[in-house]
């Protein structure tokens, strides 16, 4: 029994083959496609535990494929690209990607990221809480359903884990390092990902994201979830 099933979609044959070899040697079952259309077909056929998608491909690209996957699945998604622009990273994270790796890729880091995203995706809930409600935010942990002021809100897997980690520790200041360690499970990446995901989470749960009243920034330290005053 292997570590899990991984789908690679990249139009660079040599890179797709290299990543496939690295993963198979490490114990994964791997499926590869050279374009988004075939990648989507293989996604439905094999039901992978993780998808690794190249951003730039002819026609149906990685961002499009990530969006289609997110419509039906919450499996972790890693985006690959030769670009390093922050706008690309932000777009990928906004669409629900869990990681964003810039080519060229180093074997050790690549396998560590794969291990980390799969580990946190398989983690049981951090606490034994069945539900939570404070007047602004309500969560059914069994159904993974989030309501904000009575309205159902769709969160990405990372956004959901950040929010539930906050809710289980109300009024406690959490550092970026702690959030990265507990939510991402990878301690050698950029803490910028924490800021991006906090910003997107605020857009979904705050009445005024520019002046947040739920997830409060504690300058020089981190963030705190503050229960609404009813």
The answer to whether 103 and 89 are in contact (CB under 8 A) is: no
* Selected residue with higher pLDDT from 217 and 192: 217
The answer to whether 18 and 43 are in contact (CB under 8 A) is: no
The answer to whether 146 and 118 are in contact (CB under 8 A) is: no
Where does the chain show beta strands of DSSP type E?
5-9, 29-33, 50-54, 77-81, 99-102, 131-133, 137-140, 145-148, 151-152, 173-175, 215-218, 222-225
Tally of helices (H runs) and strands (E runs) in the chain? 8, 12
CATH fold of 5-122 reads Rossmann fold (3.40.50)
pLDDT at 186: 56
pLDDT digits (tens, 9 = 90+) for 37-86: 999 999 999 999 999 999 888 888 899 999 899 888 878 899 988 766 66
Please say if the pLDDT value at position 9 is more than 70: yes
Q: Where are the domains of the chain?
A: 5-122, 131-225
- The H or E element containing residue 120 is helix 107-122
The answer to whether 131 and 138 are in contact (CB under 8 A) is: yes
- Whether the model pTM is above 0.75: no
CA 28 to chain centre: 20
Candidate CATH numbers 3.40.50.720, 3.40.50.1010, 3.40.605.10, 1.10.10.10; the one for domain 131-225? 1.10.10.10
Looking up tokens 């580990």 gives: 119
pLDDT digits (tens, 9 = 90+) for 84-112: 666 666 777 777 788 888 888 899 989 99
Report the distance separating Cα 159 and Cα 11, nearest Å: 29
Q: Which residues of 99-112 are buried (b: 16+ CB within 10 A; e: fewer)?
A: bbbeeebeeeebbb
Phi and psi, residue 217, nearest 5°: -80, 125
pLDDT digits (tens, 9 = 90+) for 156-201: 878 888 999 899 888 899 998 888 877 776 544 567 788 888 999 9
């Amino acid at each position: 029994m292997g570590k899990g099933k991984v789908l690679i979609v990249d139009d660079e044959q040599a890179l797709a083959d290299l990543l496939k070899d690295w993963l198979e040697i490490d114990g994964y079952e791997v499926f590869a496609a050279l374009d988004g259309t075939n990648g989507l077909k293989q996604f439905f056929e094999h039901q992978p535990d993780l998808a690794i998608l190249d951003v730039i491909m002819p026609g149906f690209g990685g961002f499009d494929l990530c969006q289609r996957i997110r419509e039906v699945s919450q499996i972790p998604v890693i985006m690959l690209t030769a670009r390093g622009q922050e706008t690309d990273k932000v777009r990928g994270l906004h669409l629900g990607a869990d990681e964003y790796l810039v080519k060229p890729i180093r074997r050790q880091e690549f396998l560590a990221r794969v291990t980390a995203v799969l580990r946190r995706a398989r983690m049981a809930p951090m606490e034994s809480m069945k539900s939570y409600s404070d007047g602004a935010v309500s969560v059914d942990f069994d159904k993974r359903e989030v309501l904000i002021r009575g309205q159902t809100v769709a969160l990405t897997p990372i956004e959901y884990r950040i929010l539930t980690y906050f809710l289980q520790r109300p009024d406690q200041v959490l550092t970026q390092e702690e959030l990265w360690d507990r939510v991402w499970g990878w301690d050698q990446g950029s803490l910028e990902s924490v800021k991006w995901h906090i910003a997107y989470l605020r857009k979904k749960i705050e009445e005024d994201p520019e002046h947040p009243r739920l997830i409060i920034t504690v300058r020089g330290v981190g963030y705190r979830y503050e229960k609404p005053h009813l």
